[in-house]
């Protein structure tokens, strides 16, 4: 049997790699998708092979991740429960898509992942596999009873890794889980499972990787200009960049000023609430700037229609339905709404804050001749509002008269 394992080199997938090899007597192909983990990728091939993998495959998917997943999602204005920029959620369908392609190339019978039976990632991996390769078997160790009996908690996994000489970053001194990619880094479990625990305290400073604490951010604001074409950021400070380049540049700028830290309790798709801490410096800037560009260039009713779909779109991404017909249908509408979202947004970054300092566009719908409050230079006749208000007030007056009559 041959199994393609989504391998990060972290505690869970390192233990699972050895466990799969022993339990299924299988050849394990450890697949690592480079989606922006940076230094976390160092030494993974040697580690995977020593842990028991028969083959190690790593692919640089960063540009595809930014271009085909992050940017379309940000065009939709997606943000889950008004707080979460969907950093982990949007990465899983890309990883699973590539796993399926590798499984077919390797003639593997199954794919496997290290997602727990309590989380969302299991759904995201497996819905993608179902949509793209329903013939493949999916092995989810955390949902197998004999695996859970052997590893009832992270302490047992750490001990197993130590016994089998598998180096992992997790330890009793750092008891939390991390997941990093181009869009964000997330922290959960361990000490963070207590929602009263202060993740911004001084003793937790060492946890953060992408951003500085507000106390350590510069005391002067920094200006940044973002140029958009059809809802896509194409330049930062006048320099033309690929989607990957945009994300890398904004991550550095945002991280420098402590932007994009979020500590939330969210509603998982499986039904429970969970606490997560996230760093999304570049994503926070991009989301904010994109919205500013839209306010200038999008028709009111088009904007309101698209905005009404943000919760649904965000849910689809969060719940793992990226490769679903409904998400693709929504994306087609989103693409149409972005046709005129072109122009320049100027921002100031200061101690965790993103402040708009200007926006302009050749396709702007803002007309100062109409909006001005100065004298009667406007092409808008204020007297027209009398009839407008009278017509909109008609049903309210009718209702009020019925109340007076006791109806």
Residues forming the active site? 12, 92, 121, 177
- Distance between CA atoms of 60 and 175, rounded to whole angstroms? 29
Angle CA 371–373–376, to nearest 5: 95
The H or E element spanning position 369 is helix 368-371
- Distance between CA atoms of 114 and 122, rounded to whole angstroms? 8
Burial call 363-372: b when 16+ CB within 10 Å, e when fewer: ebeeeeeeee
Sign of the C-alpha dihedral, residues 246, 251, 256, 258? Answer: positive
Please classify residue 113 by burial: count the beta carbons closer than 10 Å to its beta carbon, then call 0-12 exposed, 13-18 middle and 19+ buried.
buried
- One-character DSSP codes across 299-345: -HHHHHHHHHHHHHHHHHHHHT-TTSHHHHHHHHHHHHHTTT--EEE
Which ranges in 29-153 belong to alpha helices (H)? 44-51, 62-65, 71-75, 87-106, 121-132, 145-150
- Distance between CA atoms of 118 and 143, rounded to whole angstroms? 9
- Distance between CA atoms of 350 and 167, rounded to whole angstroms? 39
Angle CA 210–213–219, to nearest 5: 110
| Torsion region of 343: left, alpha or beta (phi above 0 gives left; psi -120 to 50 gives alpha) | left
Angle CA 53–322–310, to nearest 5: 140
Do the Cβ atoms of 20 and 126 come closer than 8 Å? Answer: no
Do the Cβ atoms of 77 and 65 come closer than 8 Å? Answer: no
Q: Find, among 83, 117, 98, 86, the residue nearest to 327 by Cα.
A: 86
């Amino acid at each position: 049997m041959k199994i393609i394992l989504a391998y990060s080199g972290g505690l869970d997938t390192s233990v699972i790699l050895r466990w799969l090899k022993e339990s299924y007597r299988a050849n394990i192909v450890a697949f690592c998708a480079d989606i922006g983990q940076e230094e976390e990728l160092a030494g993974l091939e040697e580690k995977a092979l020593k842990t028991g993998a028969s083959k190690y495959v790593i692919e640089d998917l960063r540009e595809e991740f930014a271009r085909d997943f992050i940017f379309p999602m940000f065009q939709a204005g997606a943000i889950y429960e008004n707080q979460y920029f969907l950093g982990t959620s949007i990465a899983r369908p890309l990883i699973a898509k590539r796993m399926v392609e590798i499984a077919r190339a390797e003639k593997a019978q199954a794919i496997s992942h290290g997602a727990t039976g309590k989380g969302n990632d299991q759904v995201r991996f497996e819905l993608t596999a179902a949509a793209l390769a329903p013939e493949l078997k999916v092995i989810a160790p955390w949902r197998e009873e004999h695996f859970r009996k052997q590893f009832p908690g992270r302490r047992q996994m750490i001990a197993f890794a130590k016994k089998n000489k598998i180096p992992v970053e997790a330890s009793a001194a750092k008891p939390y889980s991390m997941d990093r990619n181009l869009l964000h880094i997330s922290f959960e479990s361990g000490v963070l499972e207590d929602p009263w625990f202060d993740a911004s305290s001084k003793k937790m400073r060492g946890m953060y990787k992408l951003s500085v604490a507000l106390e350590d951010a510069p005391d002067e604001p920094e200006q940044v200009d973002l140029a958009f074409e059809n809802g896509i950021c194409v330049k930062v400070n006048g320099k033309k960049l690929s989607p990957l380049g945009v994300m890398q540049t904004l991550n550095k700028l945002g991280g420098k000023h402590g932007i994009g830290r979020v500590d939330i309790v969210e509603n998982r798709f499986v039904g429970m609430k969970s606490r997560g801490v996230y760093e999304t410096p570049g994503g926070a800037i991009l989301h904010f700037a994109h919205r500013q560009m839209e306010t200038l260039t999008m028709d009111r009713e088009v904007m309101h229609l698209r905005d009404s779909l943000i919760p649904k779109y965000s849910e689809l991404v969060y719940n793992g339905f990226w490769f679903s017909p409904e998400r693709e249908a929504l994306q087609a509408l989103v693409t149409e709404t972005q046709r005129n979202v072109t122009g320049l947004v100027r921002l100031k970054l200061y101690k965790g804050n993103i402040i708009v300092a200007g926006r302009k566009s050749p396709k702007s719908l803002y007309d100062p001749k109409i909006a001005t409050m100065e004298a009667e230079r406007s092409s808008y006749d204020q007297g027209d509002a009398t009839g407008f208000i009278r017509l909109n007030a008609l049903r309210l007056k009718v209702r009020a008269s019925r109340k007076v009559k006791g109806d």
